[in-house]
Amino acid sequence: MVNQALTQLIDSFATFVAKFETQFATSRPHHLTSIVLVGIRQEKGESLRTFVDRFSKVAMSIRNLSPNIAMHHMLTALRPEPFADNLCTQSADSLDELRKRAAKYMQLEELREFRNQALAEASGEKNKEEKDRQGRPSQRNDRRRDN
């Protein structure tokens, strides 16, 4: 009875293929389009390097992506910071040029972060030393008390 029902449902290989494709169509890998780039934005506090890496991974997975479209979407996705300002005033001619210019700004950003971190650590140590001094009575007062 079951075999008879199956033979009536699949009468040819073409029918089998059609039913198979219908059944598993949702499992088929979907190709990304440039529309995906519209949803990518540089997050607040996200470094330029992290953003460019994330943007590049998505852009590389898009088949036949025009470099001009990629550059346009990157420009609109950047937060208003010096690199974005630079791209607005002087557009890049190619993705390679854009990457080279981005690398310079990444280095500046990382240097700034390192310098701020070093200053914060130095001021933290200075504050600790001041607290230690304030916690101890001065040596002069100790001498006066002893006499």
- DSSP category for residue 78: S
Residue ranges of the domains in the chain? 31-134
Residue 60: the pLDDT is 86
CA distance 87 to 95: 12
Ramachandran region of residue 45, left (φ > 0), alpha (ψ -120 to 50) or beta? left
Nearest alpha-carbon partner for 101 in 48, 46, 47? 48
Residue 21: the pLDDT is 78
Assigned token pair, 82:
């010096």
CA distance 123 to 134: 16
Residue 79: the pLDDT is 92
Higher-pLDDT residue of 84 and 30 is 84
Write the CATH number of the domain with boundaries 31-134.
1.10.1200
Other C-beta atoms lying within 10 Å of the C-beta of residue 98: 20
Helix (H, G, I), strand (E, B) or coil at 12: coil
Q: Is the pTM of this model over 0.95?
A: no
